[in-house]
Amino acid sequence: MSTTQLQAMLNGRPLLGWNDPDAQPVDPDESPRFLRELLEKEEWQYQRTNILKVLDIYKSEKEFAPGEQIWLVDEEVVSGLEEAVSKGGVKWLEVSFY
């Protein structure tokens, strides 16, 4: 799937870091801080419920395995890309790079 196709699936919104060749993965200890910063930005308000759900997952002290993906659609955790695509709504993908 191309970046353009994925952007279209994600309601045409920009993919954080995907178009920036210098983007670095966010350290897992920094992810909650980074997500809270996104909540303060107007352009990320459409993702507010998904971001809050991811913050709840981090607060639960869930350990993420390297490469693990968590897909959300309108704050509901779904099984993966296929289920996310099949549902309408705002999508979020949280990935562990460590």
Give bridge partners of residue 77 from the DSSP assignment.
72
pLDDT of residue 88: 85
**Residue 27 and residue 58 in contact, taking contact as beta carbons nearer than 8 Å:** no
Q: What is the pLDDT of residues 9-66, one digit of tens each?
A: 555 444 454 444 454 556 667 888 889 999 999 999 999 999 999 999 888 877 777 7
Q: What is the pTM of this model?
A: 0.71
Residues sharing a CB contact under 8 Å with residue 81, sequence separation 6 or more, in sequence order: 71
Pull the structure tokens for residue 71. 């897909």
Domain that holds residue 73: 3-95
Number of domains in the chain: 1
